[in-house]
Amino acid sequence: MTRFNAFSLLKNALSGNKNWTEQWPDSQPKDEYDVIIVGAGGHGLGAAYYLATQHGITNIAVIDKGWLGGGNTGRNTTIIRSNYLYDESARLFDHAVDLWQDLSQELNYNVMYSNRGVLMLAHNVHDVQSFKRHVHSNRLNGVDNRWLTTEECKEYCPPLNISPNARYPVMGGALQQRAGTARHDAVAWGYARGAAARGVDIIQNCPVTAIRRNADGSVAGVETGKGFIKAKKVAVSAAGHTSVVMETAGVRLPLESYPLQALVSEPVKPIFPCVVMSNAVHAYISQSDKGELVIGSGTDQYTSYSQRGGLPLIEHTVAAITEVFPIFNRMRMLRKWAGIVDVTPDRSAIISKTPVSGLYVNCGWGTGGFKATPGAAHTFAWTIAKDEPHPINAPFTIDRFRTGRLIDEAAAAAVAH
């Protein structure tokens, strides 16, 4: 692996950028690994990276049915924030936001983390009360979040329509200044490059068709498009397909998979300085460094694996965006797409051991797991290496749906990313 630095950039620029070596090899599977990770999204690749760098485990394969980062990691609207209501969530997401701060330096790869601030708009009295409650709860947990008046919102985000006659009047907002965005692909690529440099095999275009178990019930390995591969431990991080993969090991989960859509506009000059979310109208917007407006919506109402999603939702989202930001009502939209997100009943993730010895699962990130990528990967790696959870992910078990100790962000109205 060539390290990126001023000298290597200059040297390669002078030779027309023709002499860069490949960033990771396209590996073929070996017969056996210490750990097999199913799913080469940011979470799976990140877990491999932390297993290698922090736990000295390098005999690892990360296997994906498609290309790495081609799942939700490469499809999301990249909003990063940690102002969740409950203590458990605040700790997990704030751990991730801590790791985001110097992830580019850690990986020697520019993930373009930009803490431009995330502003959540309140449109009605209930929003105001609920967001203020979040602000207070966050502050008690040491998580950055503060209340802005209507005028302060306008000052922070000038394209905002704050007219009292607006269809969605802005009654204030909660601003997390430390929050922002990052370049999604770069996160997957950075972790892939870092993991591969330490000996991890990244195997693409290779679906895992079944998890095999030994006679004593423990995990034996995985059946794949390239044959059976033996493993001491198997860790599933397959987002929308987690139910399908885990079912083959006899583990049934509290998950439902829904399409979640996003769209981008034609690129324009810098106009939008921050990220704005509106839970009430289910619309999220920011501007990418390329200049496109990046717009996200809520999930479709029905479960699906079609990775398409319906147009009514896009219409609803764009209608809401042009109400809140009338300045954009003549922008042309370039393309829309969907990812399949795995949603839990309490809208909190699962990073957990399973009833099967040697089998681990990281799932249930639903509409909002990109922001958690470094934190999820770090605590998942810990759980796999030590066969016990890190204190931060300890509450995020599968078992909570039996014991009733839910982490009910759903009820806390954190419907969004």
Partner 1 sequence: MLLIHCPYCNETLPEAEFTYAGQAHIVRAEDPSSQSDDQWEEFLFIRANVKGPHYERWRHFHGCGRYFNAVRDTVSDKFLTTYEAGAPRPDLASLTEGQK
Ligand X SMILES: Cc1cc2nc3c(=O)[nH]c(=O)nc-3n(C[C@H](O)[C@H](O)[C@H](O)COP(=O)(O)OP(=O)(O)OC[C@H]3O[C@@H](n4cnc5c(N)ncnc54)[C@H](O)[C@@H]3O)c2cc1C
| Distance in Å, CB of 247 to partner 1, minimum | 8
Q: Which is nearer to ligand X, 171 or 259 (CB)?
A: 259
**Residue of 159, 169, 207, 345 interacting with ligand X (CB under 6 A):** 207
Is 258 among the residues that bind ligand X (CB under 6 A)? no
374 is a site residue for ligand X (CB under 6 A): no
Shortest gap between Cβ of 242 and partner 1 (angstroms)? 9
User: Which of 3-11, 137-145, 256-264, 398-406 is the region at the interface with ligand X (rule: CB under 6 A)?
Assistant: 256-264
Sort residue 326 into left (φ over 0), alpha (ψ -120 to 50) or beta. alpha
Sites for partner 1 among residues 35-94 (CB under 8 A): none
Tokens of 36: 């097999």
Whole-angstrom distance, CA of residue 56 vs CA of residue 367? 32
Q: Which does 260 bind (CB under 5 to 8 A by kind): partner 1, ligand X, none?
A: ligand X
Shorter beta-carbon distance to ligand X: residue 141 or 362? 362
Q: Residues 6 or more apart from 339 whose CB is under 8 A from it?
A: 71, 72, 75, 76, 239, 240, 259, 260, 307
Q: State in angstroms the smallest separation of the CB of 110 from ligand X.
A: 19
Per partner kind, with CB cut-offs from 5 to 8 A, the member of ligand X, partner 1, none near residue 243 is partner 1
Q: Which of 254, 273, 291, 326 binds partner 1 (CB under 8 A)?
A: 254
Task: Identify which range of 40-48, 170-178, 265-273, 390-398 contacts ligand X by CB under 6 A.
Answer: 40-48
Q: What is the contact surface with ligand X in residues (CB under 6 A)?
A: 38-44, 63-66, 70-73, 75-79, 207-208, 237-239, 241, 245, 260-262, 296, 339, 341, 365, 367-371, 417
Q: What is the contact surface with partner 1 in residues (CB under 8 A)?
A: 241, 243-244, 252-257, 301-306, 308, 310-312, 345, 401-404
